Amino acid sequence: MISAQRQKYNQQFTAEKYQNFMQKLEAGYPEIPFRVAETPIFVPKELKEKLIAAGEEIISLIKQPNFKELTQKSIPSDWNVPDENEQPHFLTFDFGICKNEAGELTPMLIEMQGFPSLYGFQIHLANTYRECFEIDNSTNHFLNGFDEEKYIKLFKEVIIGNHQPHEVALMDVDAPSQKTAIDFFVTQKMLGIKILALEDIKKVGKQLFYEENGRQIQLKRIYNRLIFDEIADNTEIFKNSFDPREELEIEWVTHPNWFYRISKYTMPFLKSEFVPETRFLNEVKTIPADLENYVLKPLFSFAGMGVIIDVTETDIKNIPDPENWILQRKVTYEPAVQSPDGGVKAEIRIMYLWPDGGEPQLCINLARLSRGKMIGVRYNANFDWVGGTVGFMEE
């Protein structure tokens, strides 16, 4: 993308440097179970500005007064959590890097979430790339005028709020065993909060507690990393802890309902040069003649599960719940990142923090490289120069 930066990076790259990079990245943390790419992405200013513009268009929809009304049906009735607040605390928008008709690189929206991502790990990752490879300061992994000090201050405000760090916990089903656990540990180091598995938390009345050194400590705020889709068939796990769907005296960061509101469900409401044509399947009156140019996605799935890439009319007719699916025009990724042996496809996630009573602020990014049919671990198992990375944006 930034050809001078790419050329310089590739010339200095060696397998030994990459091994040293991975050792430093994992030092003091458990082994990372997902693949980290050999390279960051060097993003030119023009593409960065398009990413920012695309994000602003999406946020203007989210801030519409009728947004909750538009997205009310997105929340499954079985998983509607009470005491929803007025805003998500996180916004993440995933863009495939493509070419437009003018032959310019341009972002196209693939996914969006009102749910946290690797807000801690991406800082550690970018710093480690800089430490292990020669990357000059003409690029930055932060956006919008942020630096590390300013970012951590805002991150603390969003996660901890008006509480003490010991009153706040990052929570998942079995947090230390999750694939993204390194983000949990980096976040803990950064903010001083607890990491708790669901069963570490007990309910007394409407209040939640965890035990430390024989003392019961009340939780005031939960940094929620639990995705309900992943435990929908196993609600027995709540019996040893608490059910998030009950009335509780707890603040959610972010409230679980936002996971559904800002998701694939939101995409049909967006009309933009940066958003592929997307329709709810039950609103498709005529099946497109060029069905090979479309992809079929379930609304309620995670990490690409259930996506039908090579769609047929039979696939569409066999969907029993078309209201829970979208038909989306395929996005053609441009292999824009030059590896030592050819082009690699890229996806960039721009990441916002939205403090209580404040405005959403674009802070950092996450990127993924792919040679497979789709972006994602299982589609890239036997390749190198693929996996999670970060974008260094031209200042």
Tens digit of each residue's pLDDT (9 = 90 or more) over 98-127: 999 999 999 999 999 999 999 999 999 999
Nearest to 171 by CA among 126, 216, 209: 209
Pairing of strands 342-353, 361-370: antiparallel
Q: 């509101």: which residue's tokens? A: 261
Q: 């679980």: which residue's tokens? A: 256
Which pLDDT score is estimated for 299?
87
Q: Decide: 99 and 334 in contact? Cβ < 8 Å.
A: yes
Rounded mean pLDDT, 26-31: 94
Which pLDDT score is estimated for 302?
60
What one-character-per-residue DSSP string does 66-89 give?
A: THHHHHGGGS-GGG--SS--SS-S
Q: CA–CA distance from 303 to each of 167, 282, 299, 300 (Å)?
A: 31, 23, 12, 10
Which pLDDT score is estimated for 303?
58
Residue 298 corresponds to which amino acid? Answer: P
Query: 116-138: b or e for each residue (b if 16 or more CB lie within 10 Å)?
Result: bbbbbbbbbbbebbbebbebeee
Tens digit of each residue's pLDDT (9 = 90 or more) over 229-254: 778 778 888 988 999 999 999 999 99
Rounded mean pLDDT, 8-18: 96
Q: CA–CA distance from 91 to each of 106, 111, 195, 299, 389 (Å)?
A: 20, 11, 22, 18, 19
